[in-house]
Structure 1
Amino acid sequence: MAKVELYTTPWCPFCVRAKRLLDSKNVSYEDTDVGQEPAQRQVMMQRGGAHTVPQIFINDHPIGGCDELYALERAGELDALLGAD
């Protein structure tokens, strides 16, 4: 199973949607709340180049945000990424 990491805030509706999709696929992920850990926002920005949440990484590769995650799902590419080692 792939290593999935999310940078989120609890009040972000896009974060909730992204987690809902991953949960529906029974995917385990590491969720970093940048609202509770502000220093992690800088880490997120350095890793992915974006300042908005969610920021999603699969196997250390920046995927982008919620829209990009759902685009991968619609294209039929998300399951292959999530099954990668």
Structure 2
Amino acid sequence: MHKVVLYTQPQCPPCEIVKRFLKAYDINFYEINIKEDQKAKRYMLNQLEAYSTPTVVVNEQEIIRGFNLEELASALNIECE
């Protein structure tokens, strides 16, 4: 089982697509809204060096910055059709 953390913000269509993608493949994830959590926003910017949402962290090691479903699928070992 993968540990997935998804950094999002309101009015972010790519964030919604990533959430739907994860749900479609029954991947559990923890969502953090960076507009509501300023500490998480600073962590995303400074530690993860990610400057846009969605940002996804898989197993505390792999960071997918921005909207990239192919990279996300690869990190989660999902074969997309």
Q: What is the CA-CA distance between 1:65 and the residue it aligns to? A: 2.3
Q: Which residue of 2 aligns with 1:18?
A: 18
Conservation of the 8 A alpha-carbon contact between 2:2 and 2:76 = no
- Runs of 4 or more consecutive aligned structure 1 residues displaced over 6 Å after TM superposition: none
**For each residue in 1:51-79, what CA deviation from the matched residue of structure 2 results, as whole angstroms up to 9, or x when unmatched?**
11111010112122222xx1236xx6254
1:80 alignment partner AA: N
Conservation of the 8 A alpha-carbon contact between 1:44 and 1:50 = yes
Give the distance between the partners of 1:72 and 1:26, measured in 2 at CA: 17
- What is the TM-score normalised by the length of structure 2? 0.81
Alignment size in residue pairs: 77
**For each residue in 1:9-64, what CA deviation from the matched residue of structure 2 results, as whole angstroms up to 9, or x when unmatched?**
13110100111100100110010000111221111122321211111010112122
1:77 alignment partner AA: S
- What is the TM-score normalised by the length of structure 1? 0.78
* Aligned CA-pair RMSD: 1.9
Bigger RCO (CA 8 Å, 6+ sep): 1
Q: Which residue of 2 aligns with 1:72?
A: 71
Q: Aligned residues: percent identity?
A: 25
